[in-house]
Structure 1
Amino acid sequence: MKYWPVLLLGLLPLWAQAVEVGERLAPWTLLDQFDQAYTLDHQTQTLLVARSMDAAKLVDAALKGEPKGYLEARHVVFLADIQRMPRLIAKMFAVPAMRDYSYRVMLDREGRVAPRYPGAVDKVLWLQLKDGQLVAQHEYATAAQLHEALEKAGP
C-alpha cells in the first residue's frame, strides 16, 4: 500500500501530453548564458531543443564558423536542458564557457520547459513554428544535417 503513491508520482511525467502539430506552444521565460531573460513569442519560427551535452555539442558543431546573430536572423531559439548538470559544474565551468559562443543559449536549469517537448536525448529536436503554433517537428542526429536545415531556413 505504501508504494502506490510513490509509483503514481513516478509515472506522472509519462502522462504529460507531448505537444502535437497544430497546437500552440505555451509561452515561457528563461535566462540565457548571460543571465538575460528571453520569452518565447510568436516571432520565433524555430525552436531547437537539446536534452543532453551530446545534443548541445551537435548544435555547437553545426554553428561553428557562423557569425554572431546567425540564429536570430533565422528567428531560431536554442534551448538547452541542463537540469541534470550539477549546479556547481554549471555555475563554475559550463555556463562561463557558453559565454564564448556566438549564439544565445536559453538554459533550462530547473527542467520546467524542455520536458514539454519530448524527443531523443542524443538528438536535437527541431520544432517549426508559425505564429506560436507547431507546424512541424524533426530530429537531427548529425551536425551536418542540422547545419543544412539551418541554411535552408535562411533569413
Structure 2
Amino acid sequence: MPFTQSQILDIKALFKESVKDIFENTEFVGHLTNLIAKNIDKKFDNILKTYTARCEELERENMMLKSKIDNMEQYTRRNSVRILEKKRGIILKLTNHCYKDILLRNRYKLKGTGVFICEDLTQSRRDLYKHTQQKCGMKNTFTRDGILRNLDEIYINIRNKNVV
C-alpha cells in the first residue's frame, strides 16, 4: 500500500529532524571526523608509498642509464688522447688503439716542455680523476682505457663515484 502525501511529508520531516539531531551531537560529529581523517591518512600513506617506490625505481634506472651513456661515450674516446699546452688543448683521434698505447708510454719524453699528453676521458671520469688525484696523490693515480686506478691498489668505483 503506497504512502499518502501527508505521510510522505511526515517521514521527510522526521528524517530531517533526525539528521539535524545527529549532526548537532558534537561527540558523533567528532567521531565521524576522526574516522574520515584516519581513512584519508591510510589512503594518502598508500599513495605516498607507491610514488616513493616508483621514484626510487626511476632514480636507479636513471643512474644505470647515465652509467651506460658514460661507458658508451668513453668507448668512443678509446682511440683519442688529449694534448695539453699552456694555451689550448688538442684532441688527437688515432686510427688504432696500439698507436695510443705507444704514444702514452712515451709521453714521459715530453717532460719539461710544457706539453702534456693524457687519455681523453669523459667529463664525469675526468672530475673523478681530479678528485682521486687530490685524495690519493697525483703520482699514485692513473688511467688505463678510461678506468681509474691507484698504485696503492685503490680502485675507483665509477658508478658510485667513491674511492674504495
* TM-score, normalised with respect to structure 1: 0.26
Structure that is richer in helix per residue: 2
Larger radius of gyration: 2
Report which structure shows greater RCO (CA 8 Å, sep ≥6).
Answer: 1
Structure that is richer in strand per residue: 1
* TM-score, normalised with respect to structure 2: 0.25
